[in-house]
Amino acid sequence: MKVLRDLFRDYRFCFSFGVLVIILILAFLSNFSPYDPTLWNVVPKDTKPSVQYPLGTDSNGQDIFWQATYAVRNSLIISLIAASVSRVIAVLVGMVAGYTRGNTDRILMFVSDGLLVIPLFLILVMLAMMVRQHMSLVVLGLMLSAFGWAWDARVIRSVILSLREREFTQTAILSGTGTLKLVLNEYMPFAMPLVFSTLINNISWAIGLEMTLALLGLVDVNIPTLGTMLNWAIIYQSMFLGRWNWVLTPVVISVLMFIALYWLSVSISEYLDPRTRIQRVGAQ
Amino acid sequence: MDTLLEVDRLTKVFSLGGILSRVRIRAVDNVSFYVKPAEIFALAGESGCGKTTTARMILGFEEPTSGAIVHRGGQGGESENKKVWFTEGVQAIFQDPFGTFNPLRIVDRYFFETIGNFGLAANGKEAVKLIEEKLNAVGLSYDEFSGKYPSEFSGGQLQRISIARALLTDPTLLIADEPVSMVDASLRMSIVNLFKKLKEESGLSVLYITHDLATAYYVSDRIAIMFRGNIVEMGPVERVLMDPQHPYTRLLRESIPEADPKKRWGSRITLSNTEHEEYLRAGCKFAGRCPDATETCKSQVPQDVHIDDVLVKCHKYHSVMKDTSSSHCLA
Amino acid sequence: MNETVLRTEGLKAFYVLDVFGTQKVVKAVNEVNIEIRENEVYGIAGESGCGKTTLLKALVAAIEPPLRLIGGKVYYCGYGKEIDVSSLSAEEKRRLRWEYISYVPQGSMSVLNPVMKVKETYRDFIESHVSGKTREEAYEIAGRQIVELGLPRKILDTYPHQLSGGMRQRVTIALAALLRPRIIVCDEPTTALDVVVQRGVVQMLRDVQKYLENTIVLVTHDMGVQANIADRVGIMYAGKMVEEATTERIFGRPLHPYTQYLINSLPRFGDKTTRESVPGSPPSLIDLPSGCPFHPRCPYVLDVCTKQMPGFVGLEPNHRVACWLVGEG
């Protein structure tokens, strides 16, 4: 496709694309894991990487490689749930507030500002401690999404506010277009790059936050995620004991993911930016 | 008398400033005029005179503080102060041709949307026929128009496309808000000639809002000159622009640069420093710059005076003609 | 005949753009030869997109990527010498700017620093070009110049946003004239202004020129303004100069078909007969037609016009045309 070809010119996109393809393959491979990730002692403990155990094994008696595939899969699930649900909320709130203005706008922004100001971490810790028993991937994802929309809602709202003053809004109204269709058809193309890049940033944010919570032991540590793997590795003092294969696996994977996600968001939003799109239209 | 549009004592007051110091500016001050069918009526004046605010109120994008707007051009019979589009037979085109259309969407979409929203065609083929008809009326062909983004056209072409879109609903009144100010001087004729042609062929009326008096003279039948929210002179364009009565109209007329080196500006003028002070002036708002200002001018608001078929708002004629009418405009 | 102060020879300046892999070359100034003289107002007219602004940028040596000087030269002349502008160093160019040649760009009402009072902007200016003046002396110089040019003294103590558009434009022109440059170049100084304010700005430009006895190069598409202030006018089309003559001749006896259209399409008071614009639209500077760029729209097009670009010849003194219909070209 022409779009992909244009995107591949950007080295950042190439790198991100490559890394993310590998990550997705890893996540997919988790379906073929010969071991059940929640069990202990399925393999000999603390072995070095070998042909049989590609990344070695950990102190729980799990194969690190296959554990990592599950970890990646679960982290992705959590963050995707968190990011997409919060996008939906942010777009809805932003659009309604930006277009209707007046009192609805004030109430929505009040709520949004409140969420921004509240110290997020403390609330999350509290909530996590309360729901720890029932903490599953989905629950964690939804919890994170409730806090991830506030900033972006405001950004989308300001985009809508400025678009409302443009003359093409009047042209659309004179063409008889109703409010909902107007907002979707006229404003979404401007808001898309924003929504997309904030989606990707949100994924990064969610992974990071999950890892933080996991390190504090506030999630169900039996479910393998990048955070819980790191948590276990630290509990077992793997850094002091020189078991680098265990500690470094989640660290390297998450660092690569953060870089890839960042570069992906930057290159795609540059591509989707209305100003460069308008330039490209002439080039065709 | 049949009129398409009647504006009666329309007023719009804006409040500026913070909680402690509020300034009230009468952007539109008791403006009254009417537009007949098949006539081009120009509303002219410099920037900040209130003409665009008046247009926005007529279109329903702004709420008037007081006064009435009556439309008689649509199928809904007489209707007062409602948002007017298809049912009242009013459409509009705007100043910036590149801002009129969303730069990220193909221009066709607006046409198909208008047709769809107002039920102007039964199916796709008929819709295309209708679009082609209107495009031809403005001098464009369907092929050179279809499938393109706004940035692929020139300003003049886009403005014509904008007119074609407005014509889709067969309006009786077209409100043109500074349609040629962002188009090169040499291309303005093509747009303005279109207005003339549409008036003569389909009886379309145009409310032509502009600060370019030369094109206003060329194309309109009647004209109203606005200054800081008031209409200061109104009447047939030959009389108002060739033999101006109000000192402001005279100043405007003299200041238009003519494309003739033999007719250069002779006298010198002084300019005001800020515009706000003129809005807040008591009495006649032009008194600060008027060469014929008297003491009455600085304290009393002048009344409307009829001199033949021209309406002038000036103290000079108030005493000469004992005929003082209310600001309601008569035929 | 007055001395030449600025001269171009075969000037070619193109924009080379690279948008997502496709390269576009915009031939904005395509072989321009002009000579601008001392103590005159030289107007450059033409539709938007014909290359006028780029020509100005080349004249003031403000060529930056993506604009590139492809060929030709620009010479600053004076005191019997000629300096090739491309041979100047950045420091020399900086000194010449505002002292020899100053540039009032388009939309220059926004050029004034919004957080500084006008007198501070003046002081900034003076300090970067003239050494050894104290703050008070700088304000004094500013005050004197403002009053000389007929502006009220109190505007020095205001912020730019408190002034009207016309006043800001005049302050910018006053700033450009501050160091008494030999050439002042203005790009569309009156386009966004009202008719009465426009008259005031043009009046001021005339005052400045008479007062400094220097040269003003004025670019505008408004032929009425050109008629009112210019001594000579050059008409640009698609990156080339197609006609150049005194104002009286351009308006009285235009020779190039494009100029004829331009003059005849302007509405005049007292005459409501139908007038026509130039038919068609200006060519894209990326994809120019062969031969003479005006031939697709020209009512008198000949076969040779589609093949070869006519030369810019002077038939009579002070009147040059680039057209196959006039002379052998």
Alpha carbon distance B215, C271 (integer Å): 11
- C-chain CB neighbours of B257 within 8 Å are 198-199, 202, 222, 224-225, 227-228
Q: Which amino acid is at A141?
A: G
Query: A150-164 vs A64-100: helix axis angle to the nearest 10?
Result: 40
Q: In this predicted structure, what is the pLDDT of residue C42?
A: 93
Residue B272 has pLDDT above 90, yes or no: no
Q: How many CB atoms lie within 10 A of CB A275?
A: 9
Which candidate in B90, B94, B96, B102 is best for mutational testing of the A interface (most A CBs within 10 A)?
B102
User: What tokens appear for B63 in the block?
Assistant: 């709420």
B91: closest chain A residue by CA: A174
Section B56-82 average pLDDT: 71
| Overall residue count recorded for chain B in this entry | 331
Residue B82: band (very low, low, confident or very high) from pLDDT cuts 50, 70, 90:
very low
Are B189 and C47 a contacting pair at CB < 8 A?
no
Instruction: Please spell the DSSP secondary structure of B29-40, one letter per residue.
Output: EEEEEEE-TT-E
Written as six digits, the tokens of C103 are: 């540039």
Taking only the tens of pLDDT, chain C with its 329 residues reads: 578 888 888 888 888 887 666 788 888 888 888 888 888 999 999 887 788 888 888 888 888 878 888 888 888 887 777 888 878 888 888 778 878 888 888 776 667 888 888 888 888 888 887 777 788 888 888 888 888 887 888 888 888 888 877 788 888 888 888 888 889 999 888 877 788 888 888 888 888 888 888 899 999 888 888 888 899 999 999 888 889 999 988 888 888 889 988 888 888 887 788 888 777 777 888 888 888 888 888 888 888 888 888 887 777 778 888 888 876 54
DSSP string, C226-244: HHHH-SEEEEEETTEEEEE
CA atoms of A83 and B223, how far apart (whole Å): 59
C167·B273 Cβ contact <8 A: yes
Confidence of residue B153 (pLDDT cuts 50, 70, 90): confident
Strands across the sheet containing C240-246? C101-104, C183-187, C215-219, C41-45, C232-237, C240-246, C319-321, C313-316
Phi, psi of B74, deg, nearest 5: -100, -170
Domain C4-115+159-321 fold: Rossmann fold (3.40.50)
Write out pLDDT tens, residues B292-315: 778 887 787 888 888 888 888 888
> Mean of the pLDDT values across residues B164-184?
88
**B272 reaches A (C-beta below 8 A):** no
Rounded to a whole number, what is the distance in Å from the CA of B80 to chain C's nearest CA? Answer: 34
Are β-strands B66-71 and B5-17 bridged in parallel, bridged antiparallel, or unpaired?
antiparallel
The reported pTM is 0.79
Residue of chain A whose alpha carbon sits nearest to that of B87: A176
Q: Are C242 and C259 in contact (CB under 8 A)?
A: yes
Cis amide linkage into residue B64, ω under 30° from 0: no
Question: Chain A, 239-278: which have a CB under 8 Å from a chain C CB?
Answer: 276
Q: Using alpha carbons, select from C154, C181, C225 the residue that is nearest to residue C60.
A: C181
Where does B256-320 have alpha helices with state H?
276-279, 295-299, 315-320
pLDDT band at B93 (very low <50, low <70, confident <90, very high): very high
pLDDT at B85: 56
Contact between B273 and C202 using a beta-carbon 8 Å cutoff: no
> Can you give the pLDDT at residue B325?
46
Q: What is the dotted CATH code of the domain comprising A75-245?
A: 1.10.3720
Across chain A, what does the average pLDDT equal?
84
Q: Which of B86, B103, B104 sits opposite A176 (nearest CB)?
A: B86
DSSP per position, chain A: -HHHHHHHTSHHHHHHHHHHHHHHHHHHHGGG-SS-TT-S-SS-SSPPP-SSSTT-B-TTS-BHHHHHHHHHHHHHHHHHHHHHHHHHHHHHHHHHHHHH-HHHHHHHHHHHHHHHHS-HHHHHHHHHHHHGGG--HHHHHHHHHHHHSHHHHHHHHHHHHHHHTSHHHHHHHHTT--HHHHIIIIIHHHHHHHHHHHHHHHHHHHHHHHHHHHHTT-S-TTS--HHHHHHHHHHTTTTTTT-HHHHHHHHHHHHHHHHHHHHHHHHHHHHH-HHHHHHHHHH-
Q: Is B60 exposed, middle or buried (0-12, 13-18, 19+ CB in 10 A)?
A: middle
Shortest distance between the Cα of C86 and any Cα of chain B, in A, equals 33
Put simply, the answer to whether A9 touches C19 (Cβ < 8 Å) is: no
A92 neighbors A152 (Cβ within 8 angstroms): no
CA angle C76, C80, C83 (to 5 degrees): 30
Do C277 and B188 lie within an 8 Å CB cutoff? Answer: yes
Tell me the pLDDT tens digit for each residue of A30-60.
888 787 777 787 778 877 887 777 888 888 8
- What percentage of chain B has pLDDT greater than the value 90? 15
The residues facing C103 across adjacent strands are C185
CA distance A189 to chain B (A): 7
CB A196 within 8 A of CB A272: yes
Contacts of C256 in chain B (CB under 8 A): none
d(CA A251, CA A195): 28
d(CA B187, CA B196) in angstroms, rounded, equals 15
Structure-token pair, residue C286: 């990326």
Indicate yes or no: CB of A167 within 8 angstroms of CB of B96: yes
CB contact burial C176-193 (16+ within 10 A = b; e otherwise): bbbbebbbbbbbbbbbbb
Nearest 5°: phi and psi at B245?
Answer: -100, -40
User: How far is residue B261's CA from residue B257's CA, in Å, rounded to a whole number?
Assistant: 9
Q: For chain A, which residues make up each domain, given as ranges?
A: 75-245
- Hey, what domains does chain B have and what are their CATH numbers? 5-89+169-255 (3.40.50.300)
> Chain A residues within 8 A (CB-CB) of chain B?
166-168, 170-178, 185-186, 189-190, 274, 277-278, 281-282
CA C211 to chain centre: 20
List the end-to-end C-alpha distance of chain A, in Å, as a whole number: 14
pLDDT by residue for chain A (284 residues), tens only, comes to 677 777 787 888 888 889 999 999 988 888 887 877 777 877 788 778 877 778 888 888 788 888 888 889 989 999 999 999 999 999 989 888 888 878 888 899 999 998 888 888 888 888 878 877 777 888 888 888 888 888 889 989 998 988 888 888 888 888 888 777 888 888 888 888 788 888 888 899 999 888 988 888 888 778 888 888 888 888 888 888 887 888 888 899 999 999 999 998 888 878 777 777 766 665 44
B256: which chain C residues are within 8 Å (Cβ-Cβ)?
A: 195, 224, 269
Cβ–Cβ under 8 Å, residues B215 and B54 = no
In total, the C-beta contacts within 8 angstroms joining chain A to chain C are: 15
CA distance C288 to B17: 53
- Contact between B94 and B56 (Cβ < 8 Å): no
Q: C-chain residues within 8 Å CB-CB of A276?
A: 19-20
DSSP assignment, residue C78? E
Identity of the residue in B117, B151, B162 whose CB atom sits nearest the CB atom of A177: B117
Rounded to an integer, the average pLDDT of B39-54 is 88
Question: Residue A131's pLDDT is what?
Answer: 79
Whether residue B180 has pLDDT greater than 50:
yes
> Nearest C-alpha of chain B: how many angstroms from C60?
25
In whole angstroms, give the CA distance from residue B237 to residue B256. Answer: 16
Supply φ then ψ for residue C49, to 5 degrees. Answer: 90, 10
Residue among A167, A175, A189 minimizing CB distance to B99: A167
Kindly list the residues from chain A whose CB atom is less than 8 angstroms away from the CB atom of residue B86: 176
- The predicted pLDDT at position B329 comes to 39
Distance (Å) from the alpha carbon of A273 to chain C's nearest alpha carbon: 13
- The CB density around residue C255, as the number of other CB atoms within 10 Å, is 21
Domain extents in chain C: 4-115+159-321
Chain A CB contacts of B171 below 8 Å: none
3-state secondary structure of C180: coil
Q: Which residues contact A159 (CB under 8 A, 6 or more apart)?
A: A94, A98, A187, A190, A191, A194
Neighbours of B100 (CB within 10 A): 25
8-state DSSP, B282? S
Per the rule left: phi > 0, alpha: psi between -120 and 50, beta: everything else, B228 is left
Residue C103 belongs to what H/E stretch? strand C101-104
Partner C contacted by A106 (CB < 8 A): no
Question: Is the pLDDT score of B322 beyond 50?
Answer: no
